[in-house]
Amino acid sequence: MKEVKFTREFAIKYGLLFLLALMLVIFSFAEPAFLSTINMMIILQSVSIVAILALGVTATLAVDGFDLSIGSTAAFSMMTASYVMVVFDGGTTLAIFAAIAVGATVGLVNAFMIVKMKVPDLLATLGMMFLLLGLQLIPTQGRSISTGMSLGDGEVATGKFSESFLFLGRDRVFDVIPVPVIIMLILAVITYLFLEKTRHGRVMYAIGSNKQAAKLAGARVDFYRYVAYVMSGVYASIGGILLAARIGRGDVSSGNSLLMDGVAGALIGFAVLGAARPNAQGAAIGALFVGVLLNGLTMMNTPYYTQDFIKGFVLVAALMFTFGLSNKRS
Partner 1 sequence: MSSVVNAIEIKTIKKKFGSNTVLHDVSFNIEGGKVLALLGANGAGKSTLVKILSGVYQADEGSVIINGETIDFTNPQKARDAGIITVHQIINDGVIQDLSIAENLLLDRLCDGRFSLFLSKKALYKQAKPLAEKIGLDLPLDTKVSELSQADRQLVAIARAISDKPKLLILDEPTSSLSETEAVKLFEAVKTMRAQGVAVVYISHRMSDIRLLADQIAALREGKIVGWFEPPLDYNGAVDSMLGHAIAEVRHSFVEGKDDMLTLKNIQLKSDSNPFNLTFKTGEVVVLTGLLSSGCASVIEGIFGMNKFASGEFELNKKDWSPKNPQHAINSGIYAVQEDRGNNALIPAFSIEQNVSLPFLKKFSTLGFINTSIEKQKVNDSIEMTKVKYTSQDELILTLSGGNQQKVMIARWMLNDCKALLLNEPFQGVDISSRRQIGELLRTTANNRATIVICTDVEEALEIADRIIVFNHNNMIAEHRIDDIDMPTLIKQIAASPENYNNTPNMREDTTNERS
Listing DSSP states for 268-315 in one string gives: HGGGGGG--S--HHHHHHHHHHHHHHHHHHHHTT--GGGHHHHHHHHH
Compare residues 116 and 200 and give the one whose CB is closer to partner 1: 200
CB of residue 164 vs partner 1: minimum separation in angstroms?
32
Compare residues 123 and 176 and give the one whose CB is closer to partner 1: 123
SS (H, E, C) 4-46: HHHHHHHHHHHHHHHHHHHHHHHHHHHCHHHHCHHHHHHHHHH
CB of residue 212 vs partner 1: minimum separation in angstroms?
6
Phi, psi of 177 (to 5 degrees): -90, 120
Cβ contacts of residue 245 below 8 Å, gap of 6+?
161, 165, 166, 167, 168, 169, 170
CB of residue 208 vs partner 1: minimum separation in angstroms?
7
Within 10 angstroms of residue 115's Cβ, the number of other Cβ atoms is 21
Q: Which residues bind partner 1 (CB under 8 A)?
A: 5, 193, 197-200, 202-203, 205-206, 208-210, 212-220, 277, 330
Compare residues 19 and 62 and give the one whose CB is closer to partner 1: 62
Compare residues 88 and 194 and give the one whose CB is closer to partner 1: 194
Separation of CA 48 from chain center: 8
153, 159, 161, 162: CA torsion to nearest 10: -170
CB of residue 133 vs partner 1: minimum separation in angstroms?
33
CB of residue 149 vs partner 1: minimum separation in angstroms?
45
Compare residues 9 and 31 and give the one whose CB is closer to partner 1: 9
CB of residue 202 vs partner 1: minimum separation in angstroms?
6
The number of CA neighbours under 13 Å toward the Cβ of 207 is 27
What is the identity of the amino acid at 70?
A: I
Compare residues 163 and 196 and give the one whose CB is closer to partner 1: 196
Q: Is 172 strand, coil or helix?
A: strand
